[in-house]
Homo-oligomer: A and B are copies of this chain.
Amino acid sequence: MFAGGELGDPEAVLDLLRKDDLVVAANGGTRHCRLLGLIPSVLVGDLDSANAADLDHVERYGTTISRFPVHKDRTDLELALAYACSLEPTDVLVFGAFGLRWDHTLANVLLLLHPDFAGTKIALCDGQQTLQIVRDQLKLVGVPGDLLSLLPLSEEVRGVSASGLEYTLRNRVLHRGTTLGVSNRFTGSRVELKVRSGVVLVGHARVGERPRCG
């Protein structure tokens, strides 16, 4: 899925796509698709930030357009994720979710906690950095030196364990707002995270030359 924020590293983003991925554009994300030469299957949004070239691109290739009014109760990315989750995908990778409108970036990150999306594995990614949540367990693949941050989103997160990192965590309690989990580092290529109760936001920043999401 492509949202309308900053894309990040275009080559790394293309590198992450597989041939059988379904591409969905959320409003301004259409521009990213056009510039990357991708044809979205579906465009969801109010079309207020898609220009003539973007619309021409999707109309030419038969993209299904799911148009919403400008004055609506949900952001384009929430609407697009609702559509994507209704297809019951194995996972959703969202590009263009980050940007310099901090309220929008934060709203996009908090979408990971949307009650309707709880059953879907969603990751926000710019090719170099990935944000996703862990409620029970999560395995990550990277390279030694990759940065990993664990940010509690619940007031109290219990039973947090993390292996494969410079600072190992064993059955710890993390309190929201504290920064104990910021800027840990991969010691090898695999990290395993476990959480007994609560939700943790996981930030993974890659240092390698071929970024991946995960």
Q: Which of these binds chain B: A29-37, A50-58, A109-117?
A: A109-117
A34-93: which residues lie under 8 A (CB-CB) from chain B? 73-75, 77-78
Expressed in whole angstroms, the Cα–Cα distance for A155 and B106 within the complex equals 15
Q: Which of B98, B113, B152, B177 contacts A102 (CB 8 A)?
A: B98
Expressed in whole angstroms, the Cα–Cα distance for A74 and B179 within the complex equals 5
A179 B78 Cβ-Cβ under 8 A: yes
A161-214: which residues lie under 8 A (CB-CB) from chain B? 175-180, 182-183, 201, 203, 205
Expressed in whole angstroms, the Cα–Cα distance for A106 and B152 within the complex equals 10
- Report how many copies the assembly holds: 2
Contact with B along A142-165 (1 / 0, CB 8 A): 000001010111010000000000
Expressed in whole angstroms, the Cα–Cα distance for A117 and B111 within the complex equals 26
Contact with B along A108-127 (1 / 0, CB 8 A): 01111111010000000010
**Taking chain A's interface residues, is the majority helix, strand, or loop, or is none over half, making it mixed?**
mixed
Expressed in whole angstroms, the Cα–Cα distance for A180 and B175 within the complex equals 27
Rounded to whole Å, the gap between the CB of A77 and the closest CB of chain B is: 8
A75 B131 Cβ-Cβ under 8 A: no
A interface residues, tally (CB under 8 Å): 42
30 of the cross-chain contacts (CB-CB < 8 Å) are A73-B179, A74-B180, A75-B183, A77-B179, A78-B179, A101-B205, A102-B105, A102-B131, A102-B203, A103-B129, A103-B147, A103-B149, A103-B151, A103-B203, A104-B149, A104-B182, A104-B183, A106-B109, A106-B201, A107-B151, A107-B182, A110-B153, A110-B176, A111-B179, A113-B177, A114-B175, A114-B178, A115-B175, A115-B177, A117-B177
